[in-house]
Structure formats: structure tokens, C-alpha cells
């Protein structure tokens, strides 16, 4: 656990963000290793199937992810206020909610998966593999929620190092099982999905054992969990706007994939690869913003408002510098990065085209996320939700559709930085109003 209410702001945020960033790099290795093995040893159709599955998976999980983020903010504010009993009750409430939510999501996802893929106009030759991957992954979502919920709770308590250790264990298990199931057992795309579920389950089990023996606050005793309605309402009030935002973002991603799907297997496969690369490239911005949210939550809980501006400026400088460095690497190494996933020349060409356009604008994405991190840490999640929806649904998706009619798939790629720029401008204007300071819950 880490108290972020005393000490030099920039240094605290950096030390808190780095283990979280490294942990999420390992988590992204799940998807990256999956795609590398699929692309090189199964084929571009399977690569396209994995890529087509992830926006749907995100759509199913996004509302829950938002509510988890609300619980994390509640935990950080109670921890900043030194109310440990409320911290414990928030953790209990979160895990009871996640258990029942995971059951509902698994059942609904498996029943409707094929209908969803057909609705999104996925090419017929890709649907069987996409359905197989999706059904196995979504069927094991209970261990994914348990694992990621535990990590979110620890981050709310200011502990970003312990989740890193669990993620390293999970990633190593996943890579080993990927190679075993695909290269030795020849299970194809099903083996990749099974490996991910087993790896997250193993990491969650390891986390339970470790925390029960060593942690001062977190104790997993599933028969003694207590659901607190008032705390759940607070978590919902903060997390639901983020969850709705994430849901609309996820639905927006499926709308984009439906546009991508009209251009055929090569474009779908290339899009699958560049989404993995972009997910990795965006991690510095997202993790510095998450660290800033916890920093803001604790300092607002401790009534130290004056520290927030300094923490924000420091975060903006650090994440922008890293994002510029990442952009340079992606622009210079686009060909090398695509070759890691596939040797299909047309897929590589399309992927490089995407990276050369989108990769130049990661700094705008980084600045937008840093501003949102301040507002979410303060408990103001409603306005960021509206800004995100405007940037996606009013700007990016219509731009992708219109530009793709004129310029082909290149138009879809240009729509992304256009949406980021609008989101950044709107977020900065709202930050300057200072209204987010009035949303504190503790």
C-alpha cells in the first residue's frame, strides 16, 4: 500500500505508474503472443478471427470494467481518508458483484456469439474460428474478472507492484501453454483461447493464496463476504458513467470493425495486428492516467486539493515524453513490427499504412487521457463520458464511414487521430472550468 498524499508529486506518480505500466505490458503480451502464434502457425484467417473477436469481448466486459473503476476510486478515497473498514466493505461488495456479473456475461455471450459475428458482416470463412475463440474466452471470464478485480483493488490502495508479479506469472504460463497447445497438441485457435483462460485462472489462484497470507487489508474468504448497498451505490454513481462510456466505446469499436470487415480478410487481418501494436503503444498514456486518478482520489480524500495541479502537470510531461518516443519507434519500425505477426506481404503493407498514420498522434491521445485521469480521480466521470462519446460517435465513426467511401481503408485510419484531437480539446476546456473539484464523495 502506498500513501500518495505526502511527498513530491511527480516522483510519487512515476513510481506508482511504472510497475502498473510494466504489469500491463505483460498483460498485453497475452494478446500479442496469441496473435504472433496464430499469424505464423495457423494462418491469416485465424489471425483475422482473433482480431474480430476482441471488440466483441470488450463490448461484453466494458460496463463491468467501468463499475470496477468506480470501486477503485471509492477505495482510493476511503484509503486517503484512513477509513479502513469502509475500504474492506468496498472490496467485499466489488467481488460479490463480479461473481454474478461474470456468470450472466458468459451465458449471454456463448448463446449469441454467432449471431453477433454475422450481424457485423464478418466473412463466412472466418466465423467458425472466431466463434470458437470467443466462446472459450468468454466462458472463462469469471477468472479474468477475479484476477483483474484483485489488481484494481490493489491499485486503489496504492499498490501497483504486487499486481505486476501476478501478471508476470500469468504471462509466462500463457506463453508456455500457447506453444504447447498450438505447436504440440495442434489444437489451433481453441488452444490459444484455452491457454489464456488457464493462465489467468492460475494467476488469480496465486493472488488469493499470497494475499490471504501476507496482506493487511485484503482477505479472501468467499463465505464471509458482505455486500454493502450504500457503498455499491457510490461505486455505481462513479463507475456507471465510465461503464456506459466504455460500453459505447466498445459498441463503437464493433461499428468500426463492421466497416473494416467490408474490405475483406487482408484488411481484417492487418487491423487485428495493428490493434495489438496500438494497444501496447497506448499503455504509457493509460497507465499514467490511472496512476494520476489514484493520486487525485487519495489527495481529495485527504483534502489536499493544492497537490492535484502539480501532479497533473508532472504526469502530462512524463506521459507526453514517453508517447513521443513510442511514436518514433512505431514510425521507424512499422515494417519490423508487422513482420513479427505475419509474412503475408499484403497484410504487412496495409498494417504499415495504418501505423504511419496513427502512430504520429499518440501524444494527443496521451494528453487527453491525462486530463480525464484528473476528473475520474475526483469522482467526476459523467463529463468524460460525454466527451468520449462525442469524440467516438459524432466524430470518429462518421469520419471513418465517410472517408472510407472516398479513400478506402486509409479513411478508417485517419478517423482515429481526428477523434482523439476533438476529445483532447473538449477535455481541456472542461478541466479549465474546475467543476470537477466539486464531485468528491468522501
To 10 degrees, the CA torsion angle through 368, 331, 412, 420? 10
Q: What is the 3-state secondary structure (H, E, C) of the chain?
A: CCCCCCCCHHHHHHHHHHHHHHHHHHHHHHHHHHHHHHHHHCCHHHHHHHHHHHHHHHHHHHHHHHHHHHHHHHHHHHHHCCCHHHHHHHHHHHHHHHHHHHHHHHHHHHHHHHHHHHHCCCCCCCHHHHHHHHHHHHHCHHHHHHHHHHHHHHHHCCCCCHHHHHHHHHHHHHHHHHHHHHHHCCCCHHHHHHHHHHHHHHHHHHHHHHHHHHCCCCCCCCCCCCCCHHHHHHHHHHHHHHHHHHHHHHHHHHHHHHHHHCCCHHHHHHHHHHHHHHHHHCHHHHHHHHHHHHHHHHHHHCCCCHHHHHHHHHHHHHHHHHHHHHHHHHHHCHHHHHHHHCCCHHHHHHHHHHHHHHHHHHHHHHHHHHHHHHHHHCCCCHHHHHHHHHHHHHHHHHHHHHHHHHHCHHHHHHHHHHHHHHHHHHHHHHHHHCHHHHHCCC
Q: Residue 138: how many CA atoms within 13 Å on its side-chain side?
A: 28
Whats the size of the chain, residue-wise?
442
The answer to whether the beta carbons of residues 52 and 40 sit under 8 Å apart is no
Q: What is the pLDDT of residue 132?
A: 96
Residue with C-alpha cell 450504500?
230
Return contacts of 181-184, CB within 8 angstroms, 24+ apart: 182/37, 182/38, 182/41, 182/42, 183/37, 183/41
Q: What is the pLDDT of residue 77?
A: 81
What digits encode the pLDDT tens for the residues 209-225? 887 887 777 777 777 88
Question: d(Cα 252, Cα 246) in Å, to the nearest integer?
Answer: 9
Query: Of 53, 63, 99, nearest to 249 (Cα)?
Result: 63
Rounded to 5 degrees, what angle do the CA atoms 124, 125, 130 make?
A: 90
Instruction: Report phi then psi at 122, rounded to 5.
Output: -70, 135
Count of CB atoms situated within 10 Å of the CB of 407? 12
Q: What is the pLDDT of residue 250?
A: 83
Residue 186 backbone zone (phi > 0: left; psi -120 to 50: alpha; other: beta): left
Global confidence as pTM = 0.78
Distances 21 to 7, 147, 152, 354 between C-alpha atoms, Å: 21, 17, 13, 24
Helical pair 409-433 and 229-261, crossing angle rounded to 10 deg: 150
Which ranges of the chain have pLDDT less than 70? Answer: 1-2, 30, 439-442
Q: Give the chain's mean pLDDT.
A: 89
Amino acid at each position: 500500500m502506498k500513501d500518495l498524499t505526502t511527498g513530491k508529486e511527480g516522483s510519487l506518480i512515476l513510481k506508482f505508474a511504472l510497475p502498473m505500466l510494466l504489469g500491463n505490458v505483460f498483460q498485453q503480451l497475452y494478446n500479442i503472443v496469441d496473435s504472433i502464434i496464430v499469424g505464423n502457425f495457423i494462418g491469416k484467417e485465424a489471425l483475422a478471427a482473433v482480431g474480430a473477436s476482441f471488440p466483441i469481448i470488450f463490448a461484453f466486459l466494458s460496463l463491468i470494467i467501468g463499475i470496477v473503476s468506480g470501486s477503485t476510486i471509492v477505495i482510493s478515497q476511503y484509503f486517503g481518508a484512513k477509513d479502513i473498514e469502509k475500504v474492506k466493505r468496498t472490496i467485499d461488495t466489488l467481488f460479490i458483484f463480479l461473481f454474478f456479473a461474470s456468470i450472466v456475461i458468459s451465458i449471454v455471450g456463448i448463446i449469441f456469439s454467432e449471431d453477433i459475428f454475422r450481424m457485423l458482416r464478418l466473412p463466412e470463412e472466418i466465423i467458425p474460428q472466431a466463434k470458437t475463440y470467443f466462446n472459450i474466452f468468454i466462458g472463462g471470464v469469471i477468472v479474468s474478472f477475479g484476477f483483474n478485480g484483485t489488481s484494481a483493488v490493489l491499485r486503489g490502495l496504492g499498490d501497483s507492484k504486487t499486481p505486476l508479479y501476478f501478471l508476470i506469472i500469468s504471462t509466462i504460463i500463457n506463453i508456455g501453454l500457447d506453444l504447447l497447445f498450438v505447436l504440440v497438441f495442434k489444437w489451433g485457435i481453441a488452444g490459444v483461447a484455452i491457454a489464456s483462460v488457464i493462465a489467468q485462472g492460475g494467476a488469480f489462484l496465486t493472488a488469493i493464496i499470497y494475499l490471504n497470507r501476507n496482506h493487511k487489508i485484503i482477505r479472501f474468504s468467499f463465505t464471509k463476504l458482505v455486500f454493502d448497498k450504500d457503498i455499491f451505490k457510490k461505486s455505481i454513481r462513479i463507475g456507471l458513467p465510465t461503464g456506459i462510456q466504455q460500453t459505447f466505446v466498445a459498441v463503437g469499436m464493433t461499428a468500426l470493425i463492421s466497416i473494416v470487415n467490408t474490405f475483406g480478410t487482408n484488411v481484417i487481418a492487418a487491423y487485428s495486428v495493428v490493434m495489438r501494436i496500438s494497444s501496447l503503444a497506448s499503455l504509457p498514456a493509460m497507465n499514467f492516467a490511472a496512476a494520476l486518478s489514484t493520486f487525485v482520489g487519495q489527495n481529495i480524500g485527504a483534502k489536499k486539493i493544492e497537490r492535484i495541479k502539480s501532479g497533473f502537470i508532472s504526469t502530462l510531461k512524463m506521459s507526453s515524453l514517453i508517447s513521443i518516443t513510442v511514436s518514433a519507434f512505431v514510425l521507424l519500425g512499422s515494417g519490423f513490427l508487422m513482420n513479427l505477426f505475419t509474412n503475408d506481404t499484403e497484410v504487412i503493407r496495409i498494417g504499415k499504412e495504418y501505423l504511419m498514420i496513427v502512430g504520429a498522434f499518440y501524444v494527443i491521445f496521451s494528453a487527453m487521457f491525462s486530463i480525464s485521469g484528473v476528473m475520474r480521480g475526483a469522482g467526476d466521470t459523467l463529463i468524460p463520458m460525454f466527451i468520449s462519446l462525442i469524440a467516438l460517435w459524432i466524430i470518429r465513426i462518421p469520419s471513418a464511414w465517410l472517408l472510407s467511401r472516398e479513400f478506402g481503408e486509409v479513411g478508417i485510419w485517419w478517423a482515429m487521430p481526428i477523434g482523439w484531437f476533438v476529445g483532447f480539446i473538449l477535455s481541456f476546456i472542461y478541466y479549465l472550468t474546475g467543476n470537477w473539484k466539486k464531485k468528491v464523495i468522501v
